[in-house]
Each structure stands twice: as C-alpha cells, then as structure tokens.
Amino acid sequence: MPIDIIELLKVIFLGIVEGVTEWLPISSTGHMLLVDEFVRLQMSEHFKEMFFVVIQLGAILAVVATFFKKMWPFRIKDRKPSIDKGTMLLWIKVVVACIPGAVVTLLFDDVIEKYLHTPVVIAAALIVYGIAFILIESRNKGRTVKTDSLMDITFFTALMIGLFQVLSIVPGTSRSGATIVGALLIGVSRVAAAEFSFFLAVPVLFGWSALKLFKFGFEYTGPEIVTLLVGMVVAFIVSIVVIRFLMNYIKKHDFKLFGWYRIALGLVVVLYFVFSGRGI
C-alpha cells in the first residue's frame, strides 16, 4: 500500500523540523515532542521512535557536503596522494571527544528512554541551557578567546567538549547546545565551537542512527521505506541552508537569541502539557 499524500506532507514537515533544529542549539527533541503532538505519523510507535533518530542521517550528510574540504584528509598533490596531517589529527581529537558520550549512551540508553523522555525533563533542559547561553555569552563579552580556530583545539579541550556532550543524553538539552555551551565556557570561539560540534556530530549521529536501526531490524514496508528516504532527503536539503545561515550568523552575533528562544519554548512545552490535561 503506497503512502498517501497527507502522510507524505507530514514526513516533509518533520524533515524540515529536523533540518532546522538539529544544527541550531535549540533541541531537535524538544521540537519533535511538540510536533508529534499535532503531526502524528500513521506508523507504529516502534517505527516512529527509530524514524526520529535515523532521519538525522540526512542532516549528517549535509555537514559532510558543506565541510567536505575541511573534513576529507586525503589530498592529491603533484599527482601524488597525500594525507593532511592537521585534518587527521583533528579527527583523532573528535574520536577522543566521542568516547565519554559513547560509553554513557551504551550503558544507559534504555534507562534514559524509559525515565527521561518526559515533557518536564525536556522543558527543564530547554530552559536551563537557554539561561546558560545567556549567562556565558554575557560573561564572555569583551574577553579574549583562548582557542580561536578549529585547528587550535587541543586534545584536552576536545575531551572537555566531549564531557559536556554527555549532558546531551538528557532530552531537550540539544547535542549541539551542550557542546557549544561547553566550548564557550572553556574559551573556544563561537565559530570554532560550532565547527567542532559539526565534526563531532558525524560519528555520534551515525553511531546513534546505526544503533536504532539494529534495534528496529531491517524489515520495512513500502510506506516505511518512503518515509525514511523522504525524511532524510528533506532534512539534508534544509540542513545545508541552516548550517550556512548559522555560520554566517555567529560571525557577527552571539548565541543569546537562541538562549531566549529555548526559554520561551521550554515554557510553551510546560504550559501546553499542563493546560491540555496531559500532565508533565
């Protein structure tokens, strides 16, 4: 049975939401929670749980496409293959930064899904990290950053950012939000913080998506395949636009606007679930 036009429009909308919220530090989980209240896919809960994670593959490919020259360490120089040592070293730092999050996710993934995927937790995380963005940017105003460019990030700084990324296991935190807050807190520039967050997203989201795929299995109906493919394609296209916007935006502005937005969204989540009679 083919997917109908209404379901297809829902998938496109979800792909847009994913593409926008995955890279801005505003929590894709928080937005998906609200969207799922009003735009419900006619799929099993098990499939939807997997879809909301695997759709991120499209967003990841957008990062690879946008930063390919910076990410790809292999070069052709004078018709001879070579390896850019700086890029390889950067990827090793990314691996170091991934270790804390990978360990915690493997150990506590099921517990987190069971107990923390609640509106109150998501709303609290949105508000707390919104306040953090505002306070950190206010504190950093006029200060000289310690790490100005992506290539200046040290192994210790990478590990510290990785430890902050562990906080993103709490729904509503935002993976990019946690890593950027951590990077800003330890003196990394906005541009370098955002770029390192994008690099870090590649193995993290690929691994997270693979874990969900293995848990779900590889037997799909026709509509489920279409849902996944359309969602990923839309997320890919939208992500490219959003990534370019963010990189241009933070060259002239700070992250306070995103902090205020997170606080407002957190309050909306609380008010909606309280007044809808659903409870939080």
- Per-position pLDDT tens, the chain of length 280: 567 889 899 999 999 999 999 999 999 877 887 888 888 888 888 888 788 888 889 999 999 999 998 899 888 777 788 888 999 999 999 999 999 988 888 888 778 877 888 889 999 999 999 999 999 999 988 788 888 899 999 999 999 999 999 998 888 999 899 999 999 999 999 999 999 999 999 998 888 788 777 777 777 788 888 899 999 999 999 999 999 999 999 999 999 999 999 999 999 988 988 888 766 6
Q: What is the pTM of this model?
A: 0.89
Distance CA 27, CA 52 (A): 13
Distance CA 273, CA 280 (A): 6
Phi and psi angles of residue 192, each rounded to the nearest 5 degrees, phi first: -65, -40
Structure confidence by residue, pLDDT tens digits, 50-82: 888 888 899 999 999 999 988 998 887 777 888
Phi and psi angles of residue 7, each rounded to the nearest 5 degrees, phi first: -65, -35
Contact 256, 180 (CB under 8 A): no
Structure confidence by residue, pLDDT tens digits, 188-197: 999 999 999 9
Distance CA 186, CA 125 (A): 21
Structure confidence by residue, pLDDT tens digits, 134-156: 999 999 887 888 888 999 999 99
The alpha-carbon radius of gyration of the chain (Å, integer) is 19
Phi and psi angles of residue 77, each rounded to the nearest 5 degrees, phi first: -125, 125
pLDDT at 88: 93
